[in-house]
Structure formats: C-alpha cells, structure tokens
C-alpha cells in the first residue's frame, strides 16, 4: 500500500460516523482478468448447479466474460473503499466514497483501466404500508378472471389450457421494489425463491418499497382462479431491486448488471426488465437517439445475459407521445425482446408506446402485447393501469410457458421464434415492430417430435392430452375435415376442422389412424390414445 493509499484509508475510517451525507459512486474497470482459465474449470465456485446445467443444455461454454474478477484487485480496492457491487461481465466494481477527491488514488493503481462517476446515494428509510391480504374480485366463469381476454392476445391462455403454465422456469424480475408481496395472498406463495437489493443492500426491506415492482410481478405470478391469473402462474420468481426511486443516474445501469449476473448465477431462465432510460439527472451525460445502438452498459449486459442462456424481455418505453418518442435503453439491445404496448382495444399500438428503430437501423420494438391491463397493487387490490411496463411481464411469462413446452430450444432460438412469430414479420414498422406474436401458434408450429404429429404442405396437426391440434392454415382451408379410423380401418369419428383444438378423449384407449382432408389433398398418420 502506498503512502497516499494509507492516508486515504485513515481518512475513510474517520468518516464512518458521519455516513448520513450523500455518497458518491464510481464504476471502476480493471485492465484484465489475469490467468482466469483455471477458475473456469471450477464453475460451481461462482455459479449454481442449475446455472451450469442451463448452459450445458444449450451448448454454451464458459468464457472470459464468465470468469471471476481478479481477487487481488478486488481486495486492494476493498481496503480503500466500500465496494457496492461487482461485475464479472464488465470486469468492474462499483465503489463508494464520501468525497470525489477520494477517488484520485485510483490513478496510482496499475490494474485500473478507468473510473467513472455514475451516481450518488443517500441512506434510505423504509415504511410499512397497509394492505388487504385477501384479494377481493368478482368471480368469473372463466378461470383466468379479468386477465382472460388479455392473455388471449398472445396465445398465452391457450398454452395454459394444454398444461403449460411456466412450471420449472425461473423468472427474474428487476424493478423498484416489491412492497407487500410477502403479505398479499396473490397465489404466489412458495413461488418467490429470493429477494435481493442491488442499490443499498437492504434485502430484508424489499417488501417495504416499490409499487411498480409489485404490479409488474403480479402480471406474471398471480394465481387466483376465476379472479386473476398471471401469464406464468406455475413459474418461480426471484425479485431484484435495481431501480432507485429518488434518482435517475447511470449507476442504475450497473445495478441492473449486478442483478442480471445474480440471476445468471442462480440459474434463472428469463429476466423481465420493465424499466428504461432516456435521460439522467443533471451532472451526467445526457442520452441522445444516437445512443440507441446497443452500446450502453445496460444494453450490452442484456445481450451478455442472452449469451449466457437467458431470455431477456423488456419494455420498449412510454415515450411515444412525448418529445423523445423513441425506445429507451435497454430496449435497443440486439438480443432483448423489447415489447411495445397495445391499447385497450387490443389491436392498435398505444399512443404512448415508444417507437423504433434502433440507432443502427434494427427493428424495434420486437413484438406487441397488451399495455392496458389489470395488476395487483401494494394495497392488495386489483386495479387497471397502462404502459409497456405491463406488456413486458405478460410476454415474459408467456415465454416461460412456451419454453416449458419446447424445452430443447436455446435462449436464442426462443428470441428468434418470438420475432418470427409476429403477425407483421414480413413487413415490420417503427411502431409495431414485428407485431403481435402468438406464442401458442409458435408452439403448434414447433411441437416437439415426441408428440405424434403429421405435417403437410398445407398445415400441421398433432395430438396431446386427448386433443387434436390444428394449425391455422388447416382451420381456414375450405371444406377441411378429419376422419378417425380404428386400427382395422373402420371409421369411428368424423368432423369438420373448425378451431385449433378438438377433444377426442371420448374415444377408447388404443391405436387409431387420423386422415386429414382438404381441397388440396389428404394425408394420414397414426395416433395412440
């Protein structure tokens, strides 16, 4: 330790008792990761078994991005500063100081590449908010309650109907806090596996902060039959605080990166990002449209998350009828599924939904989902609201269901399919992107080979859980029909093809042959009930 470092350490020790003042936070990037190859040979030292298995399923090898920070570098800085967070992906740490001049010592450290002031921090206090623990809502004849029509738009209710509700998938929700989610009986009890604060380290207080995070998570995790069903009621969730309610600063991009790495390390499959940035508080460089090229810290981190095998779903932004108009970061990331909002009519892009493209000409937003939705607030009541913040979790939960149904796909496969599944994929525009993506139709078109199916030049049909499923091309084909024959060739049932699924579970167990006939021709395949 140099003499200057020694004096700084004494000064910082002496300032602990006056910690109520505003503190300054810096992102410190290291020059290298040293000899990291040996560390990659023991991934369970920094990744969970679930995380390692997720990568193995997708054929993703560990690389320098995954490698831990050089311990000696971190120890050196921790002897001088309070370390707020660490990032393997960025090869950086965030440190906190009482005075900006305290950071000058970094100029003497040969392993430091650069240090940038990214934010401030004031000690926080947290308050209990009253809530109704039991959700009061009119009971509907439809099992999905008030969400029924909303979940129909992207085919999510249809996925639920054939048994895919997100079970086995872990969704990380990054937001401003999750007030009262530990008290409200929203049907998510036992589904919240972790809560973590990346701003102030107040993990135990995260149920006392954040109305937005509670509402966003309810769109995914609620499971109140005939009242309110979210988009992935069978999934597990990890709740991560990255949004500072009292400031808008570049530091939040780093908080999000810390959270994404944590999500990666515990084996999350999907990250929802119902937040975005297009301006920062005075004193920081302001963003311009030219910055929407995927190069920001948070956008690069979102792409790295997909590279680790997670699907990242994010809100496009609510700037459509404001001066900015365009998407916000990280919606500009190359591999994020950025979601624009439909208005209450569920067929037109909402006026507030941010427009694309990215600064480098890529299609954004990617897809559309309902933006005027119902959510559960911190008072424990179901209320309406609007914004791309709600379109994003509806899509994120739906993707959990789709991925459950198609478990062999990689994160990048899912991203590609969701984009290609957009109704406007062949003619995207700056408002709608690729349009409304129907996840149920995507499933029908990519049904796993383990399910008996037949594919023709004019459509696809397969059997699951005693139901025959038909692609739209067969439904809309004039005079399309199917006949079921017993194994000895006798017809036992015949019907027109009039919707996507038709129940044949009334037939006795056994082998059958299904013949599908249209004006274009006919074909047959065997099934087993």
Q: Residue 452: which pLDDT band, with cuts at 50, 70 and 90?
A: very low
What does the block give as tokens for 78? 């921790």
Alpha-helix runs per DSSP H in 324-463? 388-405, 411-420, 439-445
Q: Which range has the worst mean pLDDT, 269-278, 283-292, 486-495?
A: 486-495
Q: Mean pLDDT, to the nearest integer, of 485-506?
A: 85
Q: Is the pLDDT of residue 4 over 50?
A: no
Q: What CA–CA distances, in Å, run from 441 to 40, 179, 351, 421, 437?
A: 40, 36, 27, 8, 9
End-to-end CA, the chain = 75
Bigger pLDDT: 503 or 333? 333
3 state DSSP class of 76: helix
Which DSSP state fits 267? T
Under the banding of pLDDT at 50, 70 and 90, the label for residue 138 is: confident
Answer yes or no: are the C-beta atoms of 172 and 271 closer than 8 Å: yes
Which domains can be identified in the chain, with CATH numbers?
Answer: 148-445 (3.40.50.200), 453-528 (2.60.40.3080)
Asked if 378 and 301 count as a contact pair (C-beta separation under 8 A), the reply is no
CB 199, CB 255: distance < 8 Å: yes
Which of 132-141, 154-163, 434-443, 464-473 has maximum average pLDDT?
Answer: 434-443
Phi, psi of 392, rounded to the nearest 5 degrees:
-65, -50
Please give the C-alpha separations between residue 275 and each of 175, 194, 335, 480, in angstroms, as whole numbers.
7, 20, 16, 46
Dig out the tokens for 29 from the structure. Answer: 């990037």
Q: Which of 309, 315, 347, 308 is nearest to 329 (CA)?
A: 315
- Give the span between the Cα atoms of 393 and 275, in whole angstroms: 11
Dihedrals phi, psi of 459, to nearest 5 degrees: 160, 180
Kindly report, residue by residue over 186-215, the tens digit of the pLDDT: 999 999 999 999 999 999 999 999 999 999
> Is residue 16 over pLDDT 70?
no
Span 154-172, pLDDT tens digits? 999 989 987 899 999 999 9
Q: Are 342 and 301 in contact (CB under 8 A)?
A: no
């Amino acid at each position: 330790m140099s003499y200057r470092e020694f004096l700084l350490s004494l000064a910082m020790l002496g300032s602990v008792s006056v910690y109520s003042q505003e503190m300054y936070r810096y992102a410190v990037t290291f020059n290298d990761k040293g000899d990291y190859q040996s560390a990659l040979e023991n991934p369970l030292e920094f990744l969970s078994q679930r995380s390692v298995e997720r990568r193995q399923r997708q054929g993703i090898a560990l690389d320098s991005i995954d490698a831990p920070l050089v311990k000696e570098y971190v120890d050196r800085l921790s002897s001088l500063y309070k370390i707020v967070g660490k990032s393997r992906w960025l090869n950086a740490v965030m440190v906190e100081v009482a005075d900006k001049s305290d950071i000058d010592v970094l100029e003497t450290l040969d392993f430091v590449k650069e240090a940038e002031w990214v934010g401030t921090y004031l000690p926080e206090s947290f308050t209990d908010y009253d809530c109704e623990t039991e959700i009061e809502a009119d009971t509907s004849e439809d099992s999905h309650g008030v969400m029924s029509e909303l979940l129909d738009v992207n085919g999510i209710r249809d996925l639920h109907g054939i048994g895919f509700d997100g079970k086995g998938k872990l969704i990380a929700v990054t937001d401003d806090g999750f007030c009262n989610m530990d008290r409200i009986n929203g049907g998510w009890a036992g589904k919240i596996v972790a809560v973590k604060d990346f701003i102030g380290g107040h993990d135990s207080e995260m149920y006392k902060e954040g109305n937005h995070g509670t509402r966003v998570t309810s769109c995914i995790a609620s499971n109140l039959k005939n009242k309110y069903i979210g988009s992935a009621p069978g999934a597990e969730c990890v709740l991560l605080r990255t949004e500072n309610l009292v400031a808008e600063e570049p530091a939040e991009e780093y908080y999000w990166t810390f959270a994404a790495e944590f999500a990666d390390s515990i084996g999350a499959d999907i990250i929802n990002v119902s937040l975005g940035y297009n301006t920062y508080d005075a004193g920081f460089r302001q963003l311009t449209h030219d910055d929407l090229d995927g190069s920001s810290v948070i956008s690069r981190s979102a792409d790295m998350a997909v590279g680790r095998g997670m699907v990242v779903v994010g809100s496009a932004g609510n700037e459509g009828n404001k001066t900015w108009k365009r998407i916000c970061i990280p919606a500009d990331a190359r591999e994020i599924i950025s979601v624009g909002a439909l208005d209450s009519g569920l067929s037109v892009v909402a006026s507030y939904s941010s427009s694309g493209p990215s600064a480098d000409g890529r299609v954004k937003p990617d897809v559309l989902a309902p933006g005027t939705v119902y959510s559960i607030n911190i008072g424990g009541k179901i209320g309406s609201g609007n914004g791309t913040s709600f379109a994003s979790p509806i899509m994120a939960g739906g993707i959990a269901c789709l991925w459950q149904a198609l478990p062999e796909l990689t994160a990048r496969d899912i991203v590609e399919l969701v984009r290609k599944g957009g109704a406007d994929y062949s003619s995207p525009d700056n408002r709608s992107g690729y349009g409304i993506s129907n996840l149920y139709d995507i499933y029908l078109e990519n049904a796993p080979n383990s399910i008996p199916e037949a594919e023709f030049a004019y459509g696809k049909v397969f059997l699951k859980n005693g139901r025959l499923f038909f692609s739209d091309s067969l439904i809309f084909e004039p005079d399309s029909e199917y006949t079921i024959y017993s194994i000895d060739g006798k017809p036992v049932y015949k019907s027109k093809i009039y919707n996507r699924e038709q129940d044949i579970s009334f037939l006795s167990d056994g082998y059958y042959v299904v013949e599908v006939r249209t004006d274009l021709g006919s074909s047959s395949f065997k099934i087993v009930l």
